[in-house]
Amino acid sequence: MVKVIELIIKDIVNKLNSENIISFTPVGSLSNNIKKLNKFNDLDLVIIYNKINKSNLKKLNEIVKSIKERYSTLDIGITHTFKIGPIKLLSEKPKTIMIHFLVYSVDSYLKYESNLTRFSFQHYKNLIGKPLSQLSKSETIGQEDLFNNMDGIPAIKRWILSKEGEYIEPIGDKLKFGKLKLENTQYLEIIFYSILRLASNMVRLKRGYIELDKNMCEKFSKEFQIKMRDFPTEVLKLKNILRNGRKFDSNKINELKIMSLEFVKECEGILKRYKS
């Protein structure tokens, strides 16, 4: 078992000023400490303050500096970002741990995260403060949620077609809204993220919360009898290959772009039929 993720999380918890934090919650695949490290590893940490200010961000930057000094090795490079969005920052080491600080005020969490994301986050265990389910709790998601403009089908189409990553970044006590042109690896990450999130959200419509994993892909294939029902399973395999350092040429990337748009179109069609 790789302990470095567990140690990093414990170190961050010990260094944070818990009095200023409403909730601190690791989310995503690396909230599971038994997961082995790939070439790229995204450690997502939701931190919610009553209000964001320069002092909060200064403290987080100090924590990042100490974490990098303590846990960087010849094999492991540590990167970080405060940009809220599907952003990936590789290091030059054989393996990268990107500490992804998802920093919100209570107000911005409720305003700028969709019900899809908040429904997912509420199922993870908080380490400081309140569970996220106390800030925003949904028993389920609805079809209308899958068409929201933040991370629903309209956003997914935008990301795939534009090859841009949209993000929110806390700057002092304000939020910056920006876009980032994506290189090939980052663009594939966006594609894979989009397809797996869409598939998992469709399964959640029928079955409630489910992890984004092989089991989810199998359930999607059984539940939705569309032509591309096995595409999420293929994407999950390709994501793992990408995370372990495989490079994809431009022809393969373009092929995946076309297939992804076709998959989204099929999903959109079946959702609209259910709605009517």
- Domain containing 71 equals 4-137
Which of 86, 106, 137 is the endpoint of a domain? 137
Is residue 20 over pLDDT 90?
no
Sequence-separated contacts (24+) of 27-30 with Cβ below 8 Å:
27/102, 27/120, 27/121, 27/124, 29/212, 30/5
Q: Are residues 52 and 116 in the same domain?
A: yes
Is residue 235 over pLDDT 60?
yes
Residue 60 lies in a domain: yes
Q: Are residues 89 and 204 in the same domain?
A: no
Residue 32's pLDDT band (cuts 50, 70, 90): low
Which of 72, 102, 137 is the endpoint of a domain? 137
Is residue 33 over pLDDT 80?
no
Q: Are residues 8 and 132 in the same domain?
A: yes
**Which stretches of the chain are assigned E, i.e. beta strand?**
21-27, 40-49, 76-81, 95-105, 128-129, 164-171, 174-181
Task: Please tell me the least confidently modeled range out of 76-80, 153-157, 183-187, 261-265.
Answer: 183-187
Which of 74, 105, 137 is the endpoint of a domain? 137
pLDDT at res. 36: 74
Among residues 171, 169, 193, which one has the least CA distance to residue 81?
169
pLDDT at res. 264: 97
What integer is the mean pLDDT of 15-29?
88
The per-residue pLDDT for range 57-70, each reduced to its tens digit, is: 999 999 999 999 99
Residue 146 lies in a domain: no
Q: Are residues 132 and 163 in the same domain?
A: no
What integer is the mean pLDDT of 221-233?
95
Please give the Cα distance from 208 to 123 (Å, whole number).
11
Q: What percent of the chain has pLDDT over 70?
A: 96
The per-residue pLDDT for range 73-110, each reduced to its tens digit, is: 999 999 999 999 888 888 889 999 999 999 999 999 99
Is residue 231 over pLDDT 80?
yes
Mean pLDDT of the chain: 91
Q: Are residues 167 and 127 in the same domain?
A: no
Residue 128 lies in a domain: yes
195 vs 17 pLDDT, higher one? 195
Is residue 274 over pLDDT 80?
no
The per-residue pLDDT for range 36-49, each reduced to its tens digit, is: 788 888 999 999 99
Q: What is the pTM of this model?
A: 0.91
Residue 35's pLDDT band (cuts 50, 70, 90): low
What integer is the mean pLDDT of 122-141?
94
Between CA 86 and CA 216, with CA 143 as vertex, the angle to 5 degrees is: 60
Residue 9's pLDDT band (cuts 50, 70, 90): very high
Structure tokens at 41: 């590893």
Q: What percent of the chain has pLDDT over 90?
A: 72
Among residues 179, 171, 166, which one has the least CA distance to residue 86?
166
Q: Are residues 104 and 179 in the same domain?
A: no
3 state SS of 174: strand
Between CA 177 and CA 186, with CA 169 as vertex, the angle to 5 degrees is: 85
Task: Please tell me the least confidently modeled range out of 30-44, 130-144, 177-191, 221-235.
Answer: 30-44
The H-or-E segment that residue 36 falls in is none
Counting the structural domains of the chain, the total is 2
Q: Are residues 13 and 114 in the same domain?
A: yes
